[in-house]
Copies of this chain bind each other. A is one copy, B any other.
């Protein structure tokens, strides 16, 4: 079985067919059982169990998130955007509500940065139950972004390559990653990023698992690849460092404690899922 990353799972019924029926969405919003997401500094607020916190809908929430066992779920736009510190809350978030947390956060972040039509510069307005914006001036429609990112473990014999981004906490090493560009397959993006950031060439790119990452709206596509050599040329514009770690070093790091050769990525990151999977398979 492939590993199951955090943020995986179906979440609630998105009820896509209703989004194009504004009168039905309005009727759902007017129901006494309709609930609205509570925001806290631009991110969904959590209750003491790590679940999403809800309140009775006021009736003016423009984002229709879906149906949770027939109970309509809505959100307003938060008054402020989430800051970089927002991801610390993931350590409290529970698995069941994680997909809906990610959807609500990405969707609201997109609206906050897309109030104007990119085609003509006029103000745009929310439609399709919050899952699109339309420009009345030029009739352009705009849809929320989902930005595919490849994140990968390159291996060479019994070692794998991890790197340090400048903003990481001290000691952290994790999988290298980068945005998929127009005109690329997933496999080509993995090969290009590893070559750009670490100077290695790879073959045998293999998809492992995926994960939404709502900061603001990435789709992390986790892969492995086999390097043709271990000589590194590190791009210091992107990385503080990159190095090869042995299987034993990775096991020791995942176990934690003072002997750990590096601080691994946290359990809610797909990089950790990839590391756990590599150890389980090796």
Q: Which residues in A have some Cβ–Cβ distance to B below 8 Å?
A: 5, 7-11, 14, 16-17, 20, 99-107, 110, 113-123, 131, 140, 142-148, 179-188, 191-192, 196, 207, 209-212, 214, 217, 219, 221, 235, 237
Say yes or no: A9 contacts B188, CB within 8 Å. yes
Q: Give bound CA distance, A182 to B11, whole Å.
A: 12
Q: State which of B16, B105, B180, B188 has its C-beta within 8 Å of the C-beta of A99.
A: B188
Q: Give the top 10 A-B pairs by smallest Cβ distance, nearest first.
A: A103-B183, A106-B182, A116-B121, A102-B183, A207-B207, A186-B210, A114-B118, A121-B121, A185-B210, A148-B148
Q: What B residues does A211 contact at CB under 8 A? A: 185
> In whole angstroms, what is the CA distance A120 to B235 when docked?
34
B116 with A117: CB separation less than 8 A: yes
- Residues of chain B lying within 8 A (CB to CB) of residue A117: 116, 118, 121
| 8 Å CB contact of A185 from B5, B105, B180, B182 | B5
Contact A17 B185 (CB under 8 A): no
